[in-house]
Chains A and B, each alone.
Chain A
Amino acid sequence: MNLHHLKRAIMALFALLALTPSAHAEKKYDPGASDTEIKIGQTMPYSGPASSYGTIGKAEAAYFKMINELGGVNGRKINLISLDDGYTPPKAVEQVRRLVEQDQVLFLWQNLGTPTNSAFHKYVNSKKIPHLFLATGATKWGDPKNFPWTMGGQPTYQAEATIYAKHLLKTKPDAKIAVLYQNDDYGKDYVKGLKDGLKDKAQSMIVAEQGYETAEPSVDSQVIKLQSSGADTFFIFAIPKFAAQTIRKTYDIGWKPVVYVNNVSSAVANVLQPAGLEKSVGLLTAQYFKDSHDPQWANSTDVKQYLDFMKKHHPDGDPKDSNNAYGFMQANLLVHVLKACGDNLTRENILKQATSLKNLELPMLLPGIKINTSADDYFIIEQLQMARFDGKEWRLFGELLDY
Chain B
Amino acid sequence: MDALLHQVFAGLASGGIYASLALALVMIHNATNHINFAQGEMAMFSTYIAWSLINIGVPYWAAFVATIVISFFAAAAIERILIRPVEKAPVLTVVSVFIGLLLILNSVAGWIYTYTIKSFTSPFPSEPPFGNKFVSSHELGAIAIALFVLVAMYLFFRVTPLGLAMRAAAENPASSRLVGIRVGWMLALGWGFAGAIGAIAGMMIAPLVYLDPNMMAGIMLYAFAGALLGGIDNPWGAVIGGFLMGVLENVVGALIGTELKLTVALVLIIIVLLLRPNGLWGHKVVSRV
Contacts and interface: CB of A to CB of B under 8 A. Distances in A.
A225 B6 CA distance: 9
Contacts of B11: 221
Contacts of A47: 107
Contact of A253 (B115, B133, B222): B133
Interface in B198-215: 205, 208-210, 212-215
B117 A218 contact: no
What DSSP secondary structure best describes chain B's contact surface?
A: helix
Contact of B3 (A183, A212, A224): A224
Interface string B230-267: 00000000000000000001100110011100100000
B115 A55 contact: yes
Nearest to A275: B119
B71 interface: no
A31 interface: no
B26 interface: no
Interface residues of B, number: 42
Contact of A321 (B116, B215, B250, B262): B116
B14 A220 contact: yes
A217 B222 contact: yes
Interface residues of A, number: 38
B218 A215 contact: yes
Nearest to B9: A224
Contacts of A52: 110, 115-116, 212, 214
A216 B252 CA distance: 14
Contacts of A274: 117-119, 210
Interface string B28-71: 00000000000000000000000000000000000000000000
A253 B13 CA distance: 14
Interface string B177-218: 000000000000000000000000000010011101111011
Given A183-B259, A241-B210, A320 B116 contact: yes
Interface in B84-115: 107, 110-111, 114-115
A342 interface: no
Contacts of A227: 3
Given A218-B209, A321-B114, A225 B119 contact: no
B20 interface: no
Contacts of B219: 217
A334 B259 CA distance: 40
A305 interface: no
A270 B212 CA distance: 12
A321 B7 CA distance: 33
Given A183-B259, A241-B212, A221 B249 contact: yes
A270 B117 contact: yes
Nearest to A223: B10
Interface string A259-271: 0000000000011
A243 B21 CA distance: 24
Nearest to A52: B115
Nearest to A252: B136
A76 B218 CA distance: 47
A222 B258 contact: yes
B114 A217 contact: no
Contact of A225 (B2, B117, B253): B253
B133 A254 contact: yes
Contacts of B116: 52, 240, 270, 318, 320-321
A342 B17 CA distance: 59
Contacts of A270: 116-117
Contacts of B262: 213, 215-216
A217 B218 CA distance: 5
A89 interface: no
B128 interface: yes
A54 B214 CA distance: 14
The interface centre, meaning the residue of A213, A221, A316, A321 with most chain B CB atoms within 10 A of its CB, is A221
B213 to A, nearest CB: 8
The interface centre, meaning the residue of B14, B110, B114, B254 with most chain A CB atoms within 10 A of its CB, is B114
Given A217-B17, A321-B116, 4 more contacts: A47-B107, A216-B218, A225-B254, A253-B133
21 contacts: A49-B217, A51-B115, A52-B110, A52-B212, A55-B115, A183-B259, A210-B258, A220-B13, A220-B14, A221-B14, A222-B253, A224-B7, A224-B10, A225-B254, A228-B6, A254-B133, A270-B116, A270-B117, A271-B117, A274-B119, A316-B111
